[in-house]
Structure formats: C-alpha cells, structure tokens
Structure 1
Amino acid sequence: MSAEHKGPGTAAFGWWAEYIEPRDSIPAVRGLAARLRRAGPIEALCEPAVHKLAQALHVSGSEAEAEKLVRLACLLAEVRESDAAPLAYRLGGKEPVLSHARFENLMRAEGETLTDLMRRAIGMANRRCNVGALARDLWYWNDRTRTRWCFDYFHADAPQDDSKETA
C-alpha cells in the first residue's frame, strides 16, 4: 500500500510503532512519550515526531487538522500495547470498566474535554487497544464513529454500512 493510499489508522499505527511503542527499550522514545502525555498543543507541535505523524497523515495545515493531530499524537502516547480489540469494546461489555454514564459523557465530548476523557478511558483499558482503530476513530470523530463505539461498548453487532468513512 503506497503512502498516498494509507488511511489515518494505518499511517498512525506505523508512526506509533516507530515513535511510541518501543518506549521500554529506547530511552529517547520513553522521553517522547512522556512529553506528549503531558503536552499542551504548542509543546506537542514542537516535537519533530509529531511532524512526522503530520506527514504520514498528509495534514493540510488547517487549524482543525492541527487540533486533531495534537489530540491524536498525545493520546497515542498513552497507549502502551496494541490489541485486536477496539478501545470501546475493551471499556464495555457485561462488566464495563467505564460506567455507562462516563461512556455517555465520552460520546458527547468535543475538544479538550474529549482529549481528557479519552485519556482516562485509555488508562481504564490498561493502556491497551487497537491502535489503528483508535487513530482512525479520533481522526474521524463524528456521529458515525460514535455510533460504532456504542455498539462496540455493548459488544453488539453494528449495522453494516457500505459507504467509506469520511471526514
């Protein structure tokens, strides 16, 4: 798959695998992950690795895309292990680790509130989830994404949609 045809999930997973995942064996990676976990928007944008992510995602430079880029980089730094299960699936089920009320708050969140609630949710999932799916969902955080998360949270089969995910 060429770089031009990579979706945000695939591109972000590749970035995470190179710049975040090896934190236990490479001190510079550990430092980057720690800085991103604590970073505000300007601090995150001062990291060269974040600009590598922007290149991989073909970010246009709009303010909205810059905000999504920062959120994505900072939240991916929270994830320690990639898993087959999407984050919403790991949070829910018969004995959810994230209460229904908190999940509903997460589904309604936007902006900095979304980042804060998502950070807590990642922690509650033992910092493990499907990194590519999380990246795609954060990039396209919209009603279609939220709908899928609701089905995943309740471990139910979502209705199939023939159209592709779009911004």
Structure 2
Amino acid sequence: MSEEPKGRGAAALGWWGRYIAQREIPAVRALAARLRRAAPLAVLSERDVMTLAGALGLRSHDADDIVRLAVLLAEIREHGPSTLAERLGGEKPVLSPLRFQRLLRAEGEELTDHLRRAIIMAERRCNVAALAADILHWEAARPRWCFHYYGADAPRTGNEEKTE
C-alpha cells in the first residue's frame, strides 16, 4: 500500500512534465491557463485531464480529487526536491503558522483555494510527485505536512524501523 502514493505521484509528475511544465509551448501555456481559471466541470471536460485521471486510475467517483489535482498542478512552474510544506515553513516561514493551520483544516473548494495560494507563496516551485500523492491521500498527508513545515523529522512507523 505504501507504493501506491509513490506510483501515483510519479504518474502525476510525468503528466505535469508533458502537459504543464513546458510553458514556452503555446498549447501547454493555454491548457495551464484554462485549468487555473476553469470551473470544475470545465476542468473535467479537458481531454488532457482525462489522460491524467486514467494514468492515476481515478474514475468518476473521484471527480473532486482529479479537479483539485489538475488545477493545482497547473499552478506549479518548477519541480524541485522540497515538498510544498517544506517550502512554506522552516526558520522563516513564507506562510504564517496560523494560515498553515487553516490550510490543514480546510476541506473541499476551500482546501483547493488555500493550496493554490500556498503554491503561489512558494514561488510556484515544489516536488510535484509528493504534492500529487499528498493531494490524493490528504487525510494521511496532513500530519506529515506538520513535520515538513516545521523542519522536523517525522516519526517512523514500526514497519520502517524493521526494514532498515
């Protein structure tokens, strides 16, 4: 089960690299602009978004997740090694602790709005694969984001300790 987020994250990174990252191509720039501005149904009506859904194994009952993911991936301009939470926090956080707490408590469209603003505050750069995996498994990701935001090592699970 722990491989699934990595697999989905890698698939999302591959999709982002092909359909969003190359902003110098007019069609790519246009798709990213449409996704950033579109209503949920318009996002779902994009053929390239359906390609992403297929690559991730998402279906119609996952519509909210695929819309959120596509919209947020369209905001990212540069893939890097740091998670979004790491880029937002640290010694001199770009997102205040209070706003970070609001982001963690947010649900639905409010969550999408908070994450969109956070990506912009992080200069539109983060680890795309990690963000995608976290969005698709948001409930499990929230505690990990706290550790990343404050620059602390997340506690290990019993399974991790046994494998090392």
Q: What TM-score do the two structures reach when normalised by structure 2?
A: 0.92
1:85 alignment partner AA: S
State yes or no: 1:7 paired with 2:4: no
The answer to whether the 8 A contact 2:79-2:126 is kept is yes
| TM-superposed deviation, 1:5 | 9.9
Q: Secondary structure at the match of 1:13?
A: helix
1:78-89 aligned at under 5 Å gives the runs 78-89=75-86
Report the equivalent of 2:145.
149
Report the equivalent of 2:58.
59
1:86 alignment partner AA: T
Report the equivalent of 1:105.
102
Gaps of 5+ in 1: none
1:161 alignment partner AA: T
The answer to whether the 8 A contact 2:88-2:122 is kept is yes
Q: What TM-score do the two structures reach when normalised by structure 1?
A: 0.90
Q: What are the Cα deviations for residues 78-129 of structure 1, in whole angstroms up to 9, with x where unaligned?
A: 0000010000000001110000000000000110000000000000000000
Report the equivalent of 1:30.
29
Report the equivalent of 2:67.
70
Q: What are the Cα deviations for residues 12-39 of structure 1, in whole angstroms up to 9, with x where unaligned?
A: 111000000001x210000000000111
Higher helix share: 2
Question: Structure 2: how far apart are the matches of 1:129 and 1:89?
Answer: 9
2:152 alignment partner AA: A
| TM-superposed deviation, 1:161 | 2.4
Report the equivalent of 2:93.
96
Q: Secondary structure at the match of 2:58?
A: coil
The answer to whether the 8 A contact 2:5-2:133 is kept is no
| TM-superposed deviation, 1:163 | 5.8
What percent of counterpart residues are identical? Answer: 58
The answer to whether the 8 A contact 2:81-2:126 is kept is yes
Which 4+ runs in 1 deviate beyond 6 A? none
Question: Structure 1: how far apart are the matches of 2:75 and 2:130?
Answer: 15
Question: Structure 2: how far apart are the matches of 1:56 and 1:162?
Answer: 31
1:112 alignment partner AA: E
| TM-superposed deviation, 1:60 | 2.7
Question: Structure 1: how far apart are the matches of 2:43 and 2:158?
Answer: 36
**CA-based RMSD:** 1.7
Question: Structure 1: how far apart are the matches of 2:159 and 2:102?
Answer: 27
Aligned length: 157
